[in-house]
Structure 1
């Protein structure tokens, strides 16, 4: 089969197969709207907390009112007993406990140590915990600066130090703007990987998985083009629709996207050639999505992981993909800024294409020649 016939035949198979169509095209559209939906508020809002007010002063009441007025915190109740508050948190009635200790206002005005504010949070939910801590810090700093004493100064202290945080790239500091650009790379990889592997598994079941060089090249090009379309759809239209912060290097994206798509498509064809039927691709590859996301380094630095995990992660196209696409999309990086992950993508694209060709084409020729010799 010629290159162009293989290319068109593969696209025809994708568009006429319910499994491939839903896995490779419709799933990308679904995830593009489904995944960001829970994070439309960008940051947690009105997290319930219990305040233990042991000071019972004008200052403590001001602190409570200001806490409840923030976007992040909702004061569920005010109690005098710390044990009661911590019991409420253990029972899931609150995400945190804020203790305003006895004598806080008096000691702050006198400038003596011994009293303060303590915060307990449910660290099982890291984002909630950090949000509560940041809200409490902001309220206390604001009160110390503007309300504690005329002129905004604490007794025996100089002018308060003002710390201004200016987030770069993800200007809202929101969760969607942080996580979705990385997840988008996983979405493209996994849908393309599943589809290519399912395609090859189905061909193995029918005994037609071995190809000539031109047919293999056309098939690889067809699946790669699906990945290219998915990348441009997510990185272009969907990022704009979802309000994801974008400051992109468009020309850089045009260069890198096909390389990433070839690497994933070739890996899918290679892995799929080991399955005796298409359904096994979903069963076996399905559980890999979450581990692959964690191995991108988006949630925890790669250099802090065990070395064998860090080394293994670079065999997955999404790892280099995230470290290439996120800077190009969100940070206006140049190709020179992403040289190392880009070179890794090139190596993966060439390596997986060569291995897939060796498995599907060269092995097929060897099998055919062996069968002819035996005959």
Structure 2
């Protein structure tokens, strides 16, 4: 039995590396994704976003505010323009991403103690850029107003310490947990890497069965067996052994080596991560075996699986909170191993979660493993029975 398992596993491994369509996904694709997918995200923080200024006041206060804005690391005052129509044209040409308007009598209103708002017109189609610039402008404007208020109170005879405390009674310190750089790469790459492992394994597992059907090895193996159930069990188990060994290596590369290579935070223990990922590998490979019974060509596999990856990523709650999705979306997401795997892996590796905090995703993956194993076994048994019947008819 062990010899049969190893022979089946070895045959599957040969198929992976000798079949171009499979090798391009399960070997070449794995390493291409590893090196090229993170590249656009490596410069995580948004710096020096070009914006224009419309200074209608042109006073000492307005010029000082502009200087402080330009000194902020998120903003670069690229142009001084005369009107909003020019700003709109420049935004449409993507030469700037917004315009800051300082209105007439800005300094006069401040000296009179009246509010004098500044207005930012930003291109909100780039939400990350817009939010960063808007936050920077609010911060600088708030600090600028606080300093003026403090100076006015001191000039009126208020003690400097009291004036400062009255204006800013407490200081706010923001701490970015699990994402110290507050960067997009730290947020998106660990989750995307699990999705890549899922997609390549699902496609590879499906293609392997398409190419193994009626192969010389499997026909010979089935001919040597007397029971369809034991044959189906051996075929499934031997192939799962191959995927498990191969993807445990890939998982270590993607979640351990990648974190050092791309300077991503990692808090989880390797052994905990590996124990969690085992049911993910098994359930995904078995899901691929189930899918393979309903597709017939290589193009069918790619047309079916690749578009579903976008849906899966959406259902993880990383692009939009799951709490705001209809319950039907939760149910659909529950059938894909990638959804609990992404959530659980991020909890373990990036957030340092203990077992009680990721146990829901862990048992979810084991349930999917059992369900897909039962379905795959039934389908594989039917395939073996047909092969045995066909073989028997040939001999007779």
- TM-score, normalised to structure 2, is 0.86
Change (3 A) 1:119 1:348: same
Matched ranges for 1:14-163 at <5 A: 14-113=16-115, 115-146=116-147, 149-150=150-151, 158-160=166-168, 161-163=170-172
Question: Of 297, 317, 335, which residue of structure 2 is paired with 1:315?
Answer: 335
Bigger drift between 58-67 and 309-318 goes to 58-67
Query: 1:225: Cα distance to partner?
Result: 2.5
Q: Which residue of 1 aligns with 2:15?
A: 13
Query: 1:124: Cα distance to partner?
Result: 1.5
Q: Which residue of 1 aligns with 2:246?
A: 226
Q: Which residue of 2 aligns with 1:296?
A: 316
Query: 1:349: Cα distance to partner?
Result: 1.4
Q: Distance in 2 between matches of 1:153 and 1:227?
A: 67
Query: 1:246: Cα distance to partner?
Result: 1.2
SS at match of 1:120: strand
Bigger drift between 129-138 and 180-189 goes to 129-138
The answer to whether 1:173 aligns with 2:182 is yes
CA offsets per residue over residues 254-295 of structure 1, 9 Å max, x none? 210111111111111111222223342123222222222122
- TM-score, normalised to structure 1, is 0.91
Q: Distance in 1 between matches of 2:315 and 2:154?
A: 48
Q: Distance in 1 between matches of 2:129 and 2:261?
A: 26
Q: Distance in 1 between matches of 2:353 and 2:258?
A: 20
Change (3 A) 1:148 1:214: same
Query: 1:91: Cα distance to partner?
Result: 3.0
SS at match of 1:139: helix
Segments of 4+ moved more than 6 angstroms = 151-157, 370-373
Bigger drift between 13-22 and 28-37 goes to 13-22
Q: Distance in 1 between matches of 2:365 and 2:257?
A: 24
**8 Å Cα contact 2:12-2:208 kept in structure 1:** no
Query: 1:59: Cα distance to partner?
Result: 2.1
CA offsets per residue over residues 203-246 of structure 1, 9 Å max, x none? 34769699621121101221232222211110010111101111
User: Once superposed, what is the RMSD of the aligned Cα atoms?
Assistant: 2.7
Query: 1:179: Cα distance to partner?
Result: 0.7
Query: 1:370: Cα distance to partner?
Result: 9.4
Q: Distance in 1 between matches of 2:152 and 2:391?
A: 93
Q: Distance in 1 between matches of 2:30 and 2:362?
A: 24
SS at match of 1:2: helix
SS at match of 1:56: coil
**8 Å Cα contact 1:256-1:342 kept in structure 2:** yes
CA offsets per residue over residues 13-71 of structure 1, 9 Å max, x none? 11222322221122222211211111111122222212121221222212222222333
Q: Distance in 1 between matches of 2:184 and 2:29?
A: 22
Flag structure 1 segments of 5+ consecutive residues without an equivalent.
none
Larger Rg: 2
**8 Å Cα contact 2:45-2:181 kept in structure 1:** no
**8 Å Cα contact 1:200-1:278 kept in structure 2:** no
SS at match of 1:263: helix
Change (3 A) 1:151 1:254: farther
Query: 1:195: Cα distance to partner?
Result: 0.8
Change (3 A) 1:6 1:80: same
Query: 1:194: Cα distance to partner?
Result: 1.1
Question: Of 196, 200, 206, which residue of structure 1 is paired with 2:205?
Answer: 196
Change (3 A) 1:188 1:109: farther
Q: Distance in 2 between matches of 1:149 and 1:57?
A: 20
Flag structure 2 segments of 5+ consecutive residues without an equivalent.
223-230
SS at match of 2:167: coil
